[in-house]
Amino acid sequence: MKEKGFTIWFTGLSGSGKTTLSKRLESELRRRGILKVELLDGDVIRTHLSKGLGFSKEDRDANIKRIGFVCKLLSRNGVVAIVAAISPYREIRDVNRKEIGDFVEVYCKCPLEVCIRRDVKGLYRKALAGEIRNYTGVDDPYEDPLKPEVTLETDRETPEQSILKIIQKLEALGYLLPAEEGVYTAEEEEKVKKRLEDLGYL
């Protein structure tokens, strides 16, 4: 494992699976022995770091910039920062990518109809009824990433498949040691089994 931290940025429509997958990824990283992990969830951030900001383009950009700034601090201090935020505008995501450097963009791709059907928070219903304004996907745009490191099709994949895709990409990028290299080669595994057998432990 590299000593330095990095940022994994989940982007996608509300209801596309960002929160669920980011939590799962956090557990998976901890299971692999990466203990310095910080999960920054957009909804939580808006009640603390970005309290008072609204949903105009200006406010949304400020929110995403703030999260990016925190990620930069965490990443450079050896922490793996995981962000789950709609972050609808491409330009500002790319600013964060440039600022942070070690940046892995994970696009939770999911058709709007599916997200509306899921409507976990009941906000699509309100937006469609005109009760709330500037709702991404309804009356505010979502700009797809052009070159995300990982694209997850969350309406077609199981969460396990999605997590595996991310882990494999992190291994390929050198942020994680491939498990087989990190523990045993096939020959070593045979030897350790023999050792345990000789001790009566198998």
- Which CB, 121 or 195, lies closer to other proteins? 195
Question: Least distance in Å: CB of 103 to other proteins?
Answer: 22
117 binds other proteins per the rule CB under 8 A? no
Burial class (CB in 10 A: 0-12, 13-18, 19+), 166: buried
Which is catalytic among the residues 14, 16, 22, 87?
Answer: 87
Angle between helices 90-100 and 57-76 (to 10 degrees): 20
Does the footprint of other proteins cover residue 183 (CB under 8 A)? yes
Among 120, 172, 173, 202, binds other proteins (CB under 8 A): 202
**Is position 73 an interface residue for other proteins (rule: CB under 8 A)?**
no
Instruction: Mark 8-47 with x for binding to other proteins (rule: CB under 8 A) and - for no binding.
Output: -------------------x--xxxx-x------------
Q: Say whether 79 sits in a helix, a strand or coil.
A: coil
DSSP 107: E
Q: How far is the CB of 179 from other proteins (least distance, A)?
A: 7
In whole angstroms, how close is the CB of 74 to other proteins at the nearest point? 14
Task: Tell me the CA distances in angstroms from 99 to 67, 68, 94, 145, 147, one per residue in order.
Answer: 12, 8, 9, 17, 17
Q: Judged by CB under 8 A, does residue 182 bind other proteins?
A: yes
Binding status of residue 158 toward other proteins by CB under 8 A? no
Side-chain-side CA neighbours of 19 within 13 Å: the count stands at 10
The rounded radius of gyration (Å) of the Cα atoms in the chain is 20
β strands within the chain, DSSP E = 6-11, 37-41, 80-84, 103-109, 150-153
- Does position 194 bind other proteins by CB under 8 A? yes
Residues assigned a catalytic role: 87
Q: Which residues bind other proteins (CB under 8 A)?
A: 1, 3, 27, 30-33, 35, 179, 182-184, 188-189, 191-196, 198-202
